Amino acid sequence: MEIEKKDIRALTKEKLRDFFVDNGDKAFRGNQVYEWLWSKGAHSFEDMTNVSKETRAMLERNFVINHIKVDKMQKSEDGTVKNAVRLHDGLLVESVLIPTETRTTACVSSQVGCSLDCNFCATAKLKRMRNLNPDEIYDQVAAIDKESRLYHNRPLSNIVFMGMGEPLMNYPNVMKAIEKITSDEGLGMSPKRITVSTSGVTKMIKKLADDEVKFKLAVSLHSAVEEIRNKIMPFTKNFPLTELREALEYWYAKTKSRVTYEYVVWKGINDDKKSIDALVKFCKYVPCKVNLIEYNPIDDGEFQQASEESINAYISALEKADIVVKVRRSRGKDIDAACGQLANKDAE
């Protein structure tokens, strides 16, 4: 009878060392293999050239390496690259490489589909299929790092968890992936260059603070008026703005790290004075900055980008209140790689 082989990358370094000792080899062999699996990104046991043939065959008998596979790569006119990533069980997620003059940012997914139900987001139309494993998250980053070196002659500089899914609904795996990304045995990246974005899962924001994480936090706010927020992001009925405020105050007290609010202005939804005043007021609670994101239409006609005047009204009100505000133009729109457009549209 064929026994189901385990994914070797689900083992910690200690477990891998134990495995070799239990099989009559040296613990050191575990370090070697671990290095192949992570910092050297080996896709097969064959690749592990400083490991004996017998050992490789023994590993082959016991384990598989569940590596992601970039199925399809699309390049935008503006240099943005979207990867359709095939997982070991056949499911797909997407991740994006966003180059600017000075940096390369990876936008990675944390779930297949999404747990939440934001009405303006294409990913939310796919129901959540499953959480990504730590190695599936790590692999997306490693793949983009490779692409960055290949196309831009420089390593990846930043990571944003703004792809498919709600990272804080897959908390342990996202944390494990970030641990690996920032460790010297992984990619050795600074946590300061990583941003985790949440739609506002308040309990988990507090947990991040308790865990004293060193990465940055972004919150997709979109409205500081309860009724509007509840309407466009129905799940927020369970996470009222007062709770969000309290969680963010807790976050700031513990981490002293400024929060970024992501905010899209839509015609007839949040382009009125009441919405602007509410945002300015909300921004006073904790040190923050606001990114006004351009809306990327998702073909359902319900939401439309607000006028230039409305955006300017937001900018002047925020600036008048000494709040840092930036307008973020979308990248990769022509290949459906922009915020909220990731929905495996071209990949099936």
Q: By CB under 6 A, which span of 52-60, 62-70, 193-201, 271-279 interacts with ligand SAH?
A: 193-201
Binding flag, residue 271, ligand SAH (CB under 6 A)? no
Q: Cα–Cα distance between 292 and 329 in angstroms, integer?
A: 9
217 is in an annotated binding site: no
Binding flag, residue 295, ligand SAH (CB under 6 A)? yes
Binding flag, residue 197, ligand SAH (CB under 6 A)? yes
Is 283 a residue of the active site?
no
Tell me which of 33, 93, 98, 121 binds ligand SAH, using CB under 6 A: 121
Sequence-ordered list of residues with C-beta below 8 angstroms from that of 97, at least 6 positions apart, any chain: 80, 81, 82, 83, 104, 105, 106, 107, 144, 147, 148, 151, 156
Question: Is the separation of the CB atoms in 195 and 217 below 8 Å?
Answer: yes
Shortest Cβ 90–ligand SAH spacing (Å): 23
Q: By CB under 6 A, which span of 96-104, 272-280, 288-296, 311-319 interacts with ligand SAH?
A: 288-296
Per-residue x/- marks for ligand SAH, 132-171, CB under 6 A? ------------------------------x---x-----
C-beta nearest to ligand SAH: residue: 340
Question: Is the separation of the CB atoms in 67 and 39 below 8 Å?
Answer: no
Of the residues 107, 283, 288, 339, which is catalytic? 339
Question: Is the separation of the CB atoms in 296 and 339 below 8 Å?
Answer: yes
Shortest Cβ 115–ligand SAH spacing (Å): 8
Binding flag, residue 298, ligand SAH (CB under 6 A)? yes
Binding flag, residue 296, ligand SAH (CB under 6 A)? yes
- Residue 26 main-chain phi, psi, to 5 deg: -90, 150
| Radius of gyration of the chain from its Cα atoms, rounded to whole angstroms | 22
- Tell me the site size for ligand SAH, rule CB under 6 A: 17
- Residue 41 main-chain phi, psi, to 5 deg: 60, 35
Q: Please report the beta strands in the chain, taking only residues with DSSP state E, as ranges in sequence order.
A: 6-7, 63-64, 69-75, 81-86, 92-99, 104-107, 111-112, 130-131, 158-161, 194-198, 216-220, 259-264, 288-293, 324-328
Question: Is the separation of the CB atoms in 130 and 112 below 8 Å?
Answer: yes
The two beta strands, 324-328 and 288-293, are: parallel
Token pair, residue 98, equals 């966003």
Tell me which of 198, 236, 260, 310 binds ligand SAH, using CB under 6 A: 198
Q: By CB under 6 A, which span of 61-69, 95-103, 173-181, 289-297 interacts with ligand SAH?
A: 289-297
Q: Cα–Cα distance between 253 and 179 in angstroms, integer?
A: 23
220 is in an annotated binding site: yes
Is 77 a residue of the active site?
no
Q: Binding site for [4Fe-4S] cluster: which residues?
A: 114, 118, 121
Q: Binding site: which residues?
A: 114, 118, 121, 165-166, 197, 220-222, 296
The residues annotated as belonging to the active site are: 94, 339
Positions touching ligand SAH (CB under 6 A) are 118, 120-121, 162, 166, 197-199, 220, 262, 264, 293, 295-296, 298, 339-340
